[in-house]
Amino acid sequence: MSPGKVLESPAILIADDDQTFLHTLATSLRKRGLNPVTADTIIKATALQQKHQPASAVVDLKIGSESGLRLIPLLLSFNPNIEIIVLTGYASIATAVSAIKLGAKDYLCKPVDTLQILSALNISKIPPDNEQCPVIPETRMPVYQLEWEYLQKVLLEHNGNISAAARSLGMHRRTLQRKLNKRSGSR
């Protein structure tokens, strides 16, 4: 190592489509001497995983129109030792169990503050005495997003089989397909 070169702390990947959340959490982590990298899509998150090889990741349950649960096995395939925390604005036992079974270390409900995330990741960087820990802004989840998460949970329970999920939900397969396509196209 050359003199004067500063070792950078391992990267922490933050994957969430909420730009305010990404900015707030990344700023808070940087103030603590950590190295956050942010992505607002699953594709960007996997690209950052390859480039930065983060030691930990904070993944939202819903990223754009996709389930953040899809990202867990992708991250683990690059680094089996990565510590993944899943965040959600609407927690359910089913999605928590799914996240843990897929390999997440923890599952936290929003709103969450930086210290809660660091604690879940067992990172002991604390803020300077004069800095208060910002609480990540709370946003109430709209009904359509709650419905989307529930549909994703049922789809996951049926291994992505739309016909089986639709039967379980008591709706026609085309109705479920339309709901999924409508949500994927909107944003």
> For residue range 157-181, what is the model confidence (pLDDT) as tens digits?
888 898 998 898 888 889 888 887 7
Closest by Cα among 65, 56, 145, 70 to 106:
56
Phi and psi at residue 54, in whole multiples of 5°? -65, 150
pTM equals: 0.65
Residue 159's CB: how many other CB atoms inside 10 A? 8
Which residues of the chain does CATH 1.10.10.60 include?
Answer: 143-185
- Taking 70 as the threshold, does the pLDDT of residue 140 lie above it? no
Q: Which residues contact 17 (CB under 8 A, 6 or more apart)?
A: 40, 41, 60, 62, 63, 64
What CATH number has the domain spanning 11-120?
Answer: 3.40.50.2300
Contact 148, 185 (CB under 8 A): no
Q: 103 or 93, which is more confident?
A: 103
CATH of 143-185, one of 1.10.10.60, 3.90.380.10, 1.10.1040.10, 1.10.3210.10: 1.10.10.60
Contact 84, 72 (CB under 8 A): yes
Instruction: Kindly compute the dihedral angle of the four CA atoms of residues 153, 92, 39, 138, in this order, to the nearest 10 degrees.
Output: 140
Q: What is the pLDDT of residue 8?
A: 59
Which residues of the chain does CATH 3.40.50.2300 include?
Answer: 11-120
The two three-digit tokens of residue 23, written as one number: 């900015």
Q: What is the pLDDT of residue 183?
A: 60
Q: What is the pLDDT of residue 145?
A: 67
Tell me the average pLDDT across 41-60. 93
